[in-house]
C-alpha cells in the first residue's frame, strides 16, 4: 500500500461527500486506503460513509476525543508507506496523490512534502502562501524553518509524510487543542529534509461548517486553549539543542498568534510576558506591531485587549 489517507470526522455531513469525491476522483498509479475516524458524530456522517461503494474505505468509531487523537488512531491503523491527513470539510485538487507520492519516491531523503494551498476564510478571503508563485518546479527546502518563517506554507491537508517517521515522532500531541498541527510540522522537520510543490492542490474551505457551528463560539474555545510557547515547544527543543535564528523567527510567528489568543481570553499577565519575551520576532503586521507597542506597561496592554476584543466581537462575516 502506498498511501493511507486519514480523515477525522465530527458532524461533517454537510461537506463530507465533497471531501471523499476529491479523493476517489484522483487519477493516480498509486494504491491508497481512506481511514475515516468518526470522533463521536451526532449527525448522519456515519451513514454517509457507510453508503459509499468504494472498497478501500475503513471506518473506525471512537468517543469524542479531538482531531489529534483521531489522526493518531488513523496512523496506528495505517498500512501505507506514506500518510496524508485531510479534514472532512476540505478537499484535494486533481494530482495531489500522484504528485506528492512521486516526489517522495524520487527524493528518498525527504520525510515529507507539501503542496501550495488555498484557504477560503469565513470573511470571504481567498488566501494562498505568496511563495508558490515564485517557483516553477518542486524542490527540497534548504532550511525548513527559514522557509516556514517567511511563508507559513504548511497546513493540515497539504502534506504527505513517511508513515515510519510519524510513528517515530510520536504523532500529534493530543493535549494541544490549538496549533497542534504547527507543533507537529516543526517537530517532523527535525527528522529529515522537506519538499515543496509550488502548485495549489489543496483547498481549505470550512466556511459553511464554521458558520453553522457558530464562528464566535468556536473562536472563544480556541482562544481559551492557546498554550504558552514554553509548553508548545517542549518536544521540539529537545531535538534542537541549539536554537537557530531561523527557528526563533518561526517560533516568533507562532508566538504572535498564541499571544493574540491568550490576550483575547483575558490571560493578560501570560500574554504580556510572551510579548515581552518573543515580541522581537513577531510578524510585522498591524496586530504584531500594536502588541509590541503596548507590551511595556500593564495599562497599555489592558487597553489593547479591550480594543482587540471589541474588534473580534464586532467582526462582519460573509
DSSP string, 61-93: EE-S--HHHHHHHHHHH--SSEEEE--TTEEEP
Q: Where are the domains of the chain?
A: 3-212, 214-313
- Say which range, 201-210, 234-243, 288-297, 303-312, has the weakest mean pLDDT: 201-210
User: Which pLDDT score, from 0 to 100, does residue 316 have?
Assistant: 62
| Position 214 confidence tier, pLDDT thresholds 50, 70, 90 | low
Q: What is the pLDDT of residue 186?
A: 97
Q: CA neighbours within 13 Å on the CB side: how many for 301?
A: 21
- SS3 of residue 226 by DSSP: coil
Buried b (16+ CB within 10 A) or exposed e, 129-159: beebeeeeebeebeebbbbbbeebbbbbbbb
Say what the pLDDT of residue 242 is.
86
What pLDDT was estimated at residue 219? 85
313 exposed, middle or buried (CB, 10 Å; 0-12, 13-18, 19+)? exposed
Alpha-carbon distances, residue 39 vs 9, 65, 90, 229 (angstroms): 6, 6, 17, 28
C-alpha–C-alpha distance, residues 38 and 45, integer Å: 8
| pLDDT tens string 164-183 | 999 999 999 999 989 999 99
Q: DSSP for 23-71, please give it.
A: HHT---SS-EEEEEEEES--SSHHHHHHH---TTEEEEEE-S--HHHHH
Cβ 146 vs Cβ 131: under 8 Å = no
Distance CA 279, CA 272 (A): 9
Query: What's the CA gap between 246 and 144, in Å, rounded?
Result: 9
2 closest CA partner among 34, 41, 43, 25: 34
- For the stretch 223-271, pLDDT in tens is 999 999 999 999 999 999 888 999 999 999 999 999 999 999 999 999 9
DSSP code at position 15: T
Average predicted confidence (pLDDT) for the chain: 93
Residue 204 has a CB neighbour count (10 Å cut-off) of 20
| pLDDT, tens only, 43-58 | 999 999 999 999 999 9
Measured CA to CA in angstroms, residue 155 lies from 85, 119, 204, 205, 318 at distances of 10, 10, 9, 13, 23
What pLDDT is attached to residue 124?
A: 55
The pLDDT tens digits for 103-159 are 999 999 999 999 999 888 655 555 566 677 788 899 999 999 999 999 989 999 999
CATH architecture of 3-212: Alpha-Beta Complex (3.90)
The whole-number pLDDT of residue 318 equals 52
Provide the grid cell at 317: 462575516
Q: Which whole number is the average pLDDT over 178-197? A: 97
Pairing mode of beta strands 126-127, 110-120: antiparallel
Q: Residue 206's closest CA among 3, 4, 44, 10?
A: 10
CA-based nearest residue to 161, from 139, 191, 203: 191
Contacts of residue 91, defined as CB under 8 A and 6 or more positions apart, other chains included, come to 18, 19, 21, 22, 202, 203, 205
pLDDT for residue 126? 56
pLDDT in tens, 15-70: 999 999 999 999 999 999 999 999 999 999 999 999 999 999 999 999 999 999 99
**Alpha carbons 8 and 108: distance in angstroms, whole number:** 28
pLDDT tens string 272-293: 999 999 999 999 999 999 999 9
Q: Which has more confidence, 242 or 317?
A: 242
What average pLDDT does the segment 73-88 reach? 98
Amino acid at each position: 500500500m502506498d498511501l493511507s489517507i486519514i480523515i477525522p470526522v465530527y458532524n461533517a455531513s454537510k461537506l463530507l461527500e465533497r471531501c471523499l469525491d476529491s479523493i476517489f476522483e484522483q487519477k493516480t498509479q498509486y494504491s491508497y486506503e481512506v481511514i475515516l475516524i468518526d470522533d463521536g458524530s451526532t449527525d448522519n456522517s456515519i451513514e454517509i460513509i457507510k453508503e459509499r461503494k468504494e472498497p478501500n474505505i475503513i471506518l473506525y468509531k471512537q468517543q469524542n476525543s479531538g482531531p489529534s487523537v483521531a489522526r493518531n488512531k488513523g496512523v496506528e491503523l495505517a498500512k501505507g508507506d506514506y500518510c496524508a491527513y485531510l479534514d472532512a470539510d476540505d478537499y484535494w485538487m486533481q494530482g495531489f496523490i500522484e504528485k506528492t507520492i512521486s516526489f517522495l519516491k524520487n527524493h528518498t531523503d525527504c520525510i515529507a512534502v507539501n503542496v501550495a494551498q488555498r484557504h477560503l476564510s469565513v470573511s470571504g478571503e481567498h488566501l494562498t502562501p505568496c511563495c508558490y508563485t515564485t517557483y516553477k518546479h518542486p524542490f527540497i527546502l534548504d532550511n525548513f524553518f527559514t522557509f516556514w518563517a517567511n511563508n507559513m506554507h504548511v497546513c493540515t491537508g497539504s502534506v504527505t509524510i513517511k508513515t515510519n517517521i510519524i510513528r517515530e515522532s510520536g504523532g500529534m500531541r493530543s493535549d494541544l487543542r490549538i496549533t497542534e498541527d504547527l507543533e507537529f510540522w516543526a517537530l517532523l522537520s527535525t527528522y529529515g529534509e522537506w519538499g515543496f510543490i509550488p502548485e495549489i492542490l489543496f483547498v481549505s474551505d470550512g466556511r459553511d461548517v464554521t458558520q453553522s457551528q457558530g464562528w464566535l463560539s468556536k473562536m472563544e474555545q480556541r482562544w481559551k486553549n492557546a498554550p504558552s510557547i514554553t509548553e508548545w515547544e517542549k518536544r521540539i527543543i529537545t531535538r534542537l539543542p541549539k536554537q537557530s535564528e531561523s527557528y526563533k523567527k518561526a517560533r516568533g510567528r507562532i508566538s504572535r498568534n498564541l499571544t493574540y489568543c491568550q490576550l483575547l481570553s483575558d490571560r493578560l499577565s501570560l500574554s504580556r510576558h510572551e510579548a515581552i519575551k518573543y515580541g522581537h520576532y513577531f510578524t510585522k503586521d498591524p496586530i504584531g506591531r500594536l502588541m509590541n507597542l503596548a507590551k511595556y506597561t500593564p495599562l497599555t496592554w489592558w487597553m489593547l485587549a479591550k480594543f482587540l476584543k471589541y474588534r473580534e466581537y464586532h467582526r462582519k462575516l460573509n
